[in-house]
Amino acid sequence: MDRITRRGLGALGFAALASEAFAKAPAIRSAWPDATETAAMIRGGQLSALEATKVAIERTLNLQPKLNFVVASDFDRALKRAAAGAPAGPFGGVPFLVKDLDDFIGLPTRNGSRAFLPLPPATKQDALIDAYGKAGVNVIGKSATPEAGFLPTTEPFAFGATRNPWDITRSSGGSSGGAAAAVASGAVTVAHASDGGGSIRIPSSCCGLFGLKPSRGRTVDARADTRVSNIGVSHVVSRSVRDSAAMLAATEDSGPGAQHAPVGLVTAPLRRKLRVGLVIDGGAGKPPSAEVRAATESSAALMRDLGHTVIPTTWPIPQTFINDFLLLWASGAAGFADAIAQIAGRPADGTLMEPFSLGLVDMSRRAPKDALPQAIGRLEAAAKAYGRWFDDNRFDVILSPVLAWAPPKLGEVGPAVPFDTLVERLIEYVGYTTVHNVAGAPSMSVPLNWTPGGLPVGTQFAARVGAEGLLFQLAYQLEAARPWADKAPPVRI
């Protein structure tokens, strides 16, 4: 991290002023202003972009030793950008973190891996990162991720574990675990996240946040590849629905040739009744824990109270789906190992890659030559079955758990667990999120429930491809019916 200390921040004289501005601003509707409100305060002159940036840096410095969510800081440049004033855009002047799987010019991209530690700062970035800049955010650093985003927990050997602000002995989720811990603790109000098998929804569930995974091809960086094997998408994690909706409106592909009709800015709650499919068991037939089952049934009861029709159903995919997905995941690990070999000038081994990553590489390289094409063919069939599931049952959305358990203890699904044991655990733990990546469909984790012990448990709602607008409308309705904005974890600002 940049060598900026609390003493230096105090000498510049802005931390106290910013805190006072937050405390006195009449527009504040909750104890924790979200990104939309923060931007409104900046536009209204109640808070300057520089003051907001000073607050975010101070909070990051205070929380980083406890939670470990930042792997590279950009404090000096962020302060200079903020001193020039808030840029145009719906989030003008709002501090922001970019996930460390994506390039941001001027900062290194480590991918959560020891192999990338020596690399210089990035000199280019993707169109989506440009779009965040046009939305007005001010990047103060890079958020932590597991190695290459392979695991649903953020415990990389390169940087150490990111801890959950609701219980620092537990996982913050992954792969956007650093982003989720930062937002949940209040260091920043919104942060970039990405999702290749649940990596927006999983940390949102673990950290009590709202997280929507867009459709494949929705955002400005995702136009070219429409294959089911293109499972990764990007968006943000946030505390409020409106932050997520506004950021998607700012970053969606709405130009000629866009794959989907634009969502636009969704601001209103749902006004019609839905037909909701309810799934309890995971895609491999594994049941959730009793706590997660109770939370899911509570969410289903809330939907009924809101006038929606809830109908039990089952996944439209075979239980072998997860094995095909794992082979696709493993092929990505093999490509990652090849990239490391080029950087290091030698084959990737245990000094460069983590045990689980190497296990995936071995899985890929041991598979018969025709295994991956056959798996992709079956995944294509699963994607089609997902669409027919909605058509045949006239479902509007599907309600399910996000994860089979409440946030696990650090180490339970970490990279050092023996490979076969870890794969078995993952099949159970993340059996609810991968189908949407293959289908290219939107889904969201909504923080509707907490365990008796105080751990958040998200509920997943999924829709047809391209139906982000419907999900946002439903999320606004749920946010009003069971508010979560003022829920604060033990480790917070």
Residues with catalytic roles? 99, 175, 199
Q: What is the dihedral of CA 61, 62, 68, 74, to 10 degrees?
A: -20
For 429, the token pair is 């733990």
What is the Cα–Cα distance from 355 to 77, expressed in whole angstroms? Answer: 36
Q: In this structure, are residues 261 and 230 in contact, taking their beta carbons and an 8 Å threshold?
A: no
What is the Cα–Cα distance from 270 to 472, expressed in whole angstroms? Answer: 8
**Cα 352 to chain centroid, rounded:** 26
DSSP for residue 411: T
What is the Cα–Cα distance from 252 to 217, expressed in whole angstroms? Answer: 9
- Max distance between CA atoms of the chain, in angstroms, equals 65
The residue length of the chain stands at 493
For 276, the token pair is 């909701």
Residue type, 367: A
Q: What does R_g of the chain's alpha carbons equal in angstroms?
A: 21
Cβ burial, residue 420 (10 Å; 0-12/13-18/19+): exposed
Q: Where are the alpha helices (DSSP H) in 44-126?
A: 49-67, 75-83
Helix 371-393 to helix 321-344 angle (10° resolution) is: 130
Q: Tell me which residue of 94, 57, 63, 91 sits closest to 76, measured CA to CA.
A: 57
Residue type, 237: V
Q: In this structure, are residues 107 and 72 in contact, taking their beta carbons and an 8 Å threshold?
A: yes
Residues 6+ apart with CB under 8 A from 184: 164, 165, 166, 172, 207, 208, 209, 239, 489, 492
Q: In this structure, are residues 99 and 178 in contact, taking their beta carbons and an 8 Å threshold?
A: yes
Q: What angle do CA 434, 438, 442 make, to 5 degrees?
A: 80
What is the Cα–Cα distance from 51 to 291, expressed in whole angstroms? Answer: 42
Q: In this structure, are residues 219 and 249 in contact, taking their beta carbons and an 8 Å threshold?
A: no
Q: In what order do the strands lie in the sheet with 70-73?
A: 70-73, 138-143, 95-99
